[in-house]
Chains A and B, each alone.
Chain A
Amino acid sequence: MMSLEEISQKIQASAKRLLAEGRAEVVIGYRRGTTPLTVAPHFARTAEDCDQLVWSSFAKINLATYLPKYPGKVALVAKGCDARSAVGQVVENQVLRENLYIIGVACNGMVDVERILAGEPRPAFEATEDQATIKLSGEGWITSLAREEVLRRNCRVCVSRTPSATADEVIGDQTEPLSADDFADLKELAGRSPADKLAYFKGLVKECLRCYACRNACPLCYCPVCFVDETRPQWLGKSQDEMDTFTFHVLRAFHCAGRCTSCGACETACPMDIKLREFNRVLESEVQKDWQYTPGLTWDQKPPLTTYRPDDEAEFIK
């Protein structure tokens, strides 16, 4: 098993090589965060910059979000889900394939920091880890947590932990895909009354501040003007009206229909720990059922809403 240090070193070596060869002008990866349990995005343009690149279980930010903003040649340090997002951006003509180099990293799942903090409220000064455990230490205490226990929810149902099919190179030992989301909870909910469904979904976003951090973190949200910012007409009021918030979440999810790769960037960014991916899952299950489509796995797939079949079924239309 390759250790995290070895993976970090390999990322650094690849980054240096790509910069030296002119294959990339910038390598987008991760560096240590300024506080424990965090990493920060890192934009390496020189060999010295590359020495700061690291890999850890806290590297949950989806760096593909930066790609559409860079016109030049970019190398991206990518987990399975980040690579899927990048593939989606290429498929949607937002990023040129020839400008993109994917440094794939075999991923074992990223951890949910909110979950860790809920179990361990004492301020930690340091977090270290090996394959199976995360060790936290603070003033006069040290504790260890099983990695499995604190994985992010989306990482438990990840079908592409190692981006072997799309990455230009892969670092680390190949990790096997997990079993896909079976949507059991949604199926159960489908049998309940409209009032129950509404109560459930409105309840999910009750605490939403409409700060739009989730949108900003999303690799698919590259519209020059987002519908939430449109003013003439204004589709969303600026108040905390429940229906405005609800509409935001419905439309945000709809805009990602057939495109969302369940990378979890939105939930990771949310300061209120809102489970907003539940809205996306409603659509994800339907896209899989109707068109057997999973986004971001190959370069030549066509997103389902950009195509059609003359015999598509829609029995609810009279």
Chain B
Amino acid sequence: MSQFEPKIVAFFCNWCTYGAADLAGVSRLDYPPNFRVVRLPCTGRLNPKYILEAFKLGADGVWVSGCHPGDCHYISGNYYARRKFVLLHHMLEAIGLEPGRLNFSWISSAEATKFQEVAKDVVEKVRACGPNINFRKAELELGLSEVA
């Protein structure tokens, strides 16, 4: 049986993790191709509804990544974001999202190797959760399945 290849929606901040992904590519570091990246100006821009929307449209996992706390391009965007993530992460797992489906990291634009490591780790975690059945809409009008 072929291995389950999860689809992951990744929300990266423009200034740090997006840069790290770029650097990883330029440095020819191998990482799994399972995610589709949505670039945000800042993790502070991430509205929780984007995450639920991704799951609703059939994503098997979500990965949110931005600048390390203290290094935000907008000074404090990720400090605010961190509090939101604390609540959202707690809430979604408390109501039944499998641990491992929703992942967060801080990766600076210089950390290409950390990007590679975390990318592999996120994919394995989501793979272990299996396909997202519980948080997707029963009937998808235009799901990620068509984009894959």
- A residues whose Cβ falls under 8 Å from a Cβ of B: 186, 189-190, 194-202, 227, 233, 235, 237, 241-244, 247, 250-251, 253-254, 257-258, 279, 282-283, 286-287, 290, 304-305, 308, 310, 312-314, 316-318
Known contacts A254-B48, A310-B79: does B96 contact A197 (CB below 8 Å)?
yes
Contacts of A190 in B (CB 8 A): 94
Q: Among the listed stretches B19-27, B30-38, B132-140, which one makes contact with chain A, having 4 or more residues with CB under 8 Å of it?
A: B132-140
Contact check, A305 vs B83: say whether CB atoms are below 8 A apart.
Answer: yes
The 6 residue pairs across chains A and B that have the minimum distance between CB atoms: A198-B96, A197-B96, A308-B79, A318-B105, A317-B104, A201-B95
Asked if B52 is at the interface (CB within 8 A of a chain A CB), the reply is yes
Contacts of A227 in B (CB 8 A): 49
Q: How far is the CB of A132 from chain B (nearest CB, A)?
A: 38
Chain A: which residue is nearest B139 at the CB level?
A241
Q: Which has the most chain B C-beta neighbours within 10 Å: A189, A304, A308?
A: A308
In the bound complex, CA of A31 to CA of B133 (Å): 50
Report B52-95 CB contacts with A as 1/0, cut-off 8 Å.
11001000000000000110000010011011111111111111
Contact check, A310 vs B70: say whether CB atoms are below 8 A apart.
Answer: yes
Contact check, B79 vs A286: say whether CB atoms are below 8 A apart.
Answer: no
Contact check, B136 vs A243: say whether CB atoms are below 8 A apart.
Answer: yes
Chain B: which residue is nearest A204 at the CB level?
B95
Asked if B97 is at the interface (CB within 8 A of a chain A CB), the reply is yes
Contact check, B86 vs A243: say whether CB atoms are below 8 A apart.
Answer: no
Number of interface residues of B (CB under 8 A): 40
In the bound complex, CA of A287 to CA of B91 (Å): 11
- Kindly identify which residue among B53, B82, B93, B97 contacts A235, using a CB–CB cutoff of 8 Å: B53
Known contacts A243-B138, A316-B89: does B95 contact A198 (CB below 8 Å)?
yes
In the bound complex, CA of A115 to CA of B104 (Å): 44
- Kindly identify which residue among B96, B104, B118 contacts A201, using a CB–CB cutoff of 8 Å: B96
- Kindly identify which residue among A237, A279, A305, A313 contacts B95, using a CB–CB cutoff of 8 Å: A279
Contact check, B90 vs A282: say whether CB atoms are below 8 A apart.
Answer: yes
In the bound complex, CA of A311 to CA of B123 (Å): 29
Q: How far is the CB of B106 from chain A (nearest CB, A)?
A: 6
* A interface, over-half SS: helix
Known contacts A194-B97, A243-B138, A279-B95: does B82 contact A308 (CB below 8 Å)?
yes
In the bound complex, CA of A282 to CA of B96 (Å): 12
Contact check, B99 vs A194: say whether CB atoms are below 8 A apart.
Answer: yes
Known contacts A257-B87, A304-B83, A305-B80: does B95 contact A197 (CB below 8 Å)?
yes
Contact check, A282 vs B104: say whether CB atoms are below 8 A apart.
Answer: no
Contacts of A279 in B (CB 8 A): 91, 95
Contact check, B48 vs A312: say whether CB atoms are below 8 A apart.
Answer: no
Contact check, B76 vs A197: say whether CB atoms are below 8 A apart.
Answer: no
Contact check, B88 vs A312: say whether CB atoms are below 8 A apart.
Answer: no
Q: How far is the CB of A236 from chain B (nearest CB, A)?
A: 9
Contacts of B88 in A (CB 8 A): 254
Task: Enumerate 22 A-B pairs (CB-CB under 8 Å) in ascending A order.
Answer: A194-B99, A195-B96, A197-B95, A197-B96, A198-B95, A201-B96, A227-B49, A250-B95, A251-B48, A254-B87, A283-B87, A286-B86, A305-B80, A305-B84, A308-B83, A310-B70, A312-B83, A313-B86, A317-B106, A318-B103, A318-B106, A318-B118
Apart from the given pairs A197-B96, A279-B91, A312-B86, 19 other A-B contacts in the complex at a CB distance below 8 Å = A189-B94, A200-B96, A202-B96, A237-B137, A242-B138, A243-B137, A244-B56, A251-B49, A254-B87, A254-B88, A282-B94, A283-B91, A304-B83, A310-B79, A312-B82, A312-B83, A317-B85, A317-B105, A318-B121
In the bound complex, CA of A250 to CA of B97 (Å): 12
In the bound complex, CA of A286 to CA of B56 (Å): 25
Q: Which has the most chain B C-beta neighbours within 10 Å: A233, A283, A290, A317?
A: A317
